[in-house]
Amino acid sequence: MEDIQGLAENVLSNGDVYIGSFKDSLPHGKGKYMWFEGTIYDGDWEDGKMTGKGKITWPSGARYEGDISGGYLHGFGTFYYSDGSIYNGAWRMNIHHGIGRKLYANLDIYDGSWKEGIPEGCGRYFWSSGNSYIGNWKGGQMCGKGIMKWVNGDHFIGFWLNGFRHGSGVYHFADGAYYFGSWSKGLKDGKGTFYPAGSKPPSLEKWDNFIGYDLDGKGFVSRTLSLNLEKEKPPKHGLKHSFSEKISVTGISSAGGLSNWPTSMEVNWGSDPAREASAVGDSCVMSHASKSVQGQNNVPYNHRMVYEREYIQGVLIQERLKEYEELLDRSKERKKTTVKEAARVSCVNFFESHRSYYLMLNLQLGIRYTVGKITPVPMREVRASDFGKRARIVMYFPRKGSQFTPPHYSVNFHWKDYCPMVFRNLREMFKLDAAEYMMSICGDDGLRELSSPGKSGSIFYLSQDDRFVIKTLKKSELKVLLKMLPKYYDHVKAHENTLITKFFGLHRITIHGRSKVRFVVMGNMFCTELKIHRRYDLKGSTIGRCTNGDKSKDGITLKDLDLSYEFHMDKLLRQSLFKQIYLDCMFLESLHIIDYSLLLGVHFRAPEKLKALLEPPATVQHPENLLHDDAGESSESEPTIPPKGLILVTHEPSFVTTAPGPHIRGRPLKAYSLGDREVDVLLPGTARFRVQLGVNMPAHASQKLREARSESAEVELFEFYDVVLYMGIIDILQEYNVMKKLEHAYKSFRFDPVSISVVEPHLYATRFISFLEKVFHELP
């Protein structure tokens, strides 16, 4: 041992060298450690462990300067990669974790939140090409709310999923045109409105407020980062490492990560503005010259026409030309109608404004308590007493908390859970995990309130993962459900493919000792990653069965007279469907239940031959020329039935998701066309799903020809589609002996008889099944 600059040098038997101070024969204080292969650490030590501030240099040329704890890069520091990338920010055990900024070797920059080495949370990504994204990230991909800006001046405000535009949003073109609509995996999917350049678009203020920041991203990332910095401060001690153990950078993100994204992103997202222009403006001429958005502010609005459009996987299938004033008047009328309906609804009067928030919070508190209390109870068969009046869990939730309940921010309330053991067994029967059920409804993301699709006055909530629907009930509906519950339990147990609504819980909240709200938790049959393009509530009648108002609104539920399609299904699939519909109707008839409906969801597949419209030929220099040619294409050149948009294949469990959902139960169905074998439905370019009764059911839809309506300038582009169907029987809590007491009851039953006797349960079921047989046909 020799003394260098007042510090002791210690040469170890393995060739490593330590120069620095010691405490009890261990490095402590300032010191430098040199491994024999060339790695050097110079910094603080504590009881033989690298802890504090320090600098590490690797033979590759990479180096780190910053906080270290127990031998790990842990805290805040800067890493200089050998390829020229630089990361400056928070670390946790050698991994980027917290708030940080990374400059990649290709000059891309990510500035924001990291989790386990990949972007997650809020952040900003700037490509060297000039494009940028500001918003939310998950798993290293754009996910949630965000804004994408292209160097040519186009930008998109809306939702993202796994790096694709997915959900509602607004695409703003550099020339001043706008498209308000919805996207699915990067393609326009559903209904939307296109405002050509020169027309006055609606205000974007609500989008700015909803996203949380303006088009430049001001106010969002800075606020979130400052908050996260406080939460992400890591502990400086407690990580143990021997001083003689060599530190490595295995697991530290290399510069490859996001630096390889820009090329693939522009391919997958369809982020080429020329391609976007061709997909949006399929029947009008638009100019996408390089103009600044700011320059449009002084241009007068001289275009008074707007285009209401509907897309299927990026293909334009329908368009209506509207005057701007007509669209504005309809929007105002919709607002007036909404105000009137809100005043008429009974429950909303009590839970208006912030009280609706209290209701949601109470639901979560009560369900968390109930599930937590009943889950540890050993499984057993239900008994007659489990359906009785004494089968209740009752608890008081004071705001300050109690011996049995946690403190909360809502108002004091009483909670009642009906037949907890029965619903616990039903959830098990439906293969729902108790923890997943509780987290879906009671998680931090909360519930979303939906507008009521009917005139019942009920309040609807949807879980954040879309798996469950919560509906408030009238007292009469609660009594019907409790009365039918024993037979409902037996029916569900005997028929695993039942289409009847799946119930998972029945509860009541009492506030201030007098205001009682009853609600039921149900499965959402439209919980699917596919876009539901049409929704129908079918009762098999004509009286009052037409949707009033704006039918073009995305997500609206249409009725019997609005249905212009017939569906053709595989022979065995149709037989299985009607066998279960008959069994379910006979069950409801035995309980004297009437006025139920078949809720039908339709996902359309774009014809494969038309998907070429998404990508203009390379020889086309100006997108508007392509648009003009497409708009003038003769319908005579189209085949009568477009190529398949879906394919039935033999069921392979390893190729499809087998996790049961809130609306999925039972084995895959068999198809006649594949030799009576269980089948999956393969959607080219999308996914593969197992086919079950009422879920992922493939069919061929044919549409009746419509007469041209010049006043709306409506254009229906196709007559035949491959579709995927979702369905279930709903509204099963209306009993015959209650309904027949209503004045003018025959109107409520959706029939047109002279005698009220036609609404008896047997006749209702017969009429209901007969109507559905005319809707769902067998493939030839």
CA distance 525 to 695: 8
Burial tier of 586 (Cβ tally within 10 Å: 0-12, 13-18, 19+)? middle
Query: Which pair of tokens denotes residue 494?
Result: 């005997």
Tens digits of per-residue pLDDT, 353-412? 456 778 888 999 999 998 988 888 888 899 999 999 999 999 999 999 898 899 998 889
Query: Which pair of tokens denotes residue 178?
Result: 């706008």
Backbone angles phi, psi at 547, to 5 degrees: -75, 130
Arithmetic mean of pLDDT, 60-89: 94
> Which range, of 105-114, 460-469, 770-779, averages the lowest pLDDT?
460-469
Supply angle C-alpha 502, 504, 505, rounded to 5: 135
CA distance 584 to 727: 13
Highest mean pLDDT among 5-19, 198-212, 475-489: 475-489
* 326: number of Cβ within 10 Å: 14
Closest CA to 447 of 467, 425, 423, 477: 467
Closest CA to 509 of 632, 362, 346, 354: 362
Average pLDDT taken over every residue of the chain? 76
Q: How confident is the model at residue 582 (pLDDT cuts 50, 70, 90)?
A: very high
Identify the H or E element spanning 91: strand 86-92
Q: What is the DSSP string of 396-417?
A: EE-TT--SSS---SS--EEEEE
CA distance 607 to 506: 44
pLDDT of 662: 59
Does residue 718 surpass a pLDDT of 60?
Answer: no
Residue type, 506: L
CA distance 651 to 212: 45
Q: Return contacts of 167-174, CB within 8 angstroms, 24+ apart.
A: 170/204, 170/207, 171/276, 171/280, 172/204, 172/293, 173/197, 173/273, 173/277, 173/280, 173/286, 173/288, 174/273, 174/288, 174/289, 174/290, 174/291, 174/292, 174/293
Tally helices (H) and strands (E) across the chain.
Answer: 16, 40
Q: Give the residue ranges of DSSP H helices in 314-418.
A: 324-344, 346-350, 355-374
Arithmetic mean of pLDDT, 207-232: 47
Contact 89, 96 (CB under 8 A): yes
Going from the C-alpha of 276 to that of each of 177, 258, 694, 776, the distances in angstroms are 12, 24, 35, 37
Closest CA to 539 of 770, 276, 303: 770
- Which residue in the block uniquely carries the two structure tokens 């929704």? 535
CA distance 364 to 440: 10
Backbone angles phi, psi at 81, to 5 degrees: -75, 160
Contact 440, 506 (CB under 8 A): no
Tens digits of per-residue pLDDT, 590-645? 998 988 999 999 999 876 555 544 433 333 233 233 222 332 233 233 333 334 67
Share of the chain above pLDDT 70, in %: 69
Q: What is the DSSP string of 581-647?
A: HHHHHHHHHHTTB-S-EEEEEEEEE--GGGGGGGS--TT-S-HHHHHHHHHT--GGGS-SSPPPS-E
Burial tier of 738 (Cβ tally within 10 Å: 0-12, 13-18, 19+)? middle
Beta partners for residue 72, in sequence order: 69
pLDDT of 224: 44
Supply angle C-alpha 362, 364, 370, rounded to 5: 100
pLDDT of 603: 92
CA distance 83 to 106: 10
Handedness of CA 406, 410, 414, 417 (dihedral sign): negative
Closest CA to 493 of 409, 418, 429: 429
pLDDT of 355: 64
Q: What is the DSSP string of 108-158?
A: -EEEEEEETTEEEEEEEEE-TTS-EEEEEEETTEEEEEEEEE-TTS-EEEE
Going from the C-alpha of 59 to that of each of 39, 82, 102, 751, the distances in angstroms are 6, 10, 22, 84
pLDDT of 280: 36
Greatest alpha-carbon span in the chain: 113
pLDDT of 52: 93
Q: Give the residue ranges of DSSP H helices in 164-299.
A: 205-211, 221-231, 256-259, 261-268, 273-280
Q: What share of the chain is helix, strand, coil (3-state, %, to 5)?
A: 25, 35, 40
Does residue 124 surpass a pLDDT of 90?
Answer: yes
Identify the H or E element spanning 577: helix 571-590
* 616: number of Cβ within 10 Å: 22
> Which range, of 274-288, 337-351, 381-395, 413-427, averages the lowest pLDDT?
274-288
Handedness of CA 341, 343, 344, 350 (dihedral sign): positive
Does residue 722 surpass a pLDDT of 50?
Answer: yes
pLDDT of 482: 95
pLDDT of 536: 94
Comparing 519 with 443, which gets the higher pLDDT? 519
Backbone angles phi, psi at 561, to 5 degrees: -70, -15
Question: Quick one: DSSP state of residue 735?
Answer: B
Burial tier of 627 (Cβ tally within 10 Å: 0-12, 13-18, 19+)? buried
CA distance 461 to 358: 13
Identify the H or E element spanning 448: strand 447-450
Comparing 660 with 549, which gets the higher pLDDT? 549
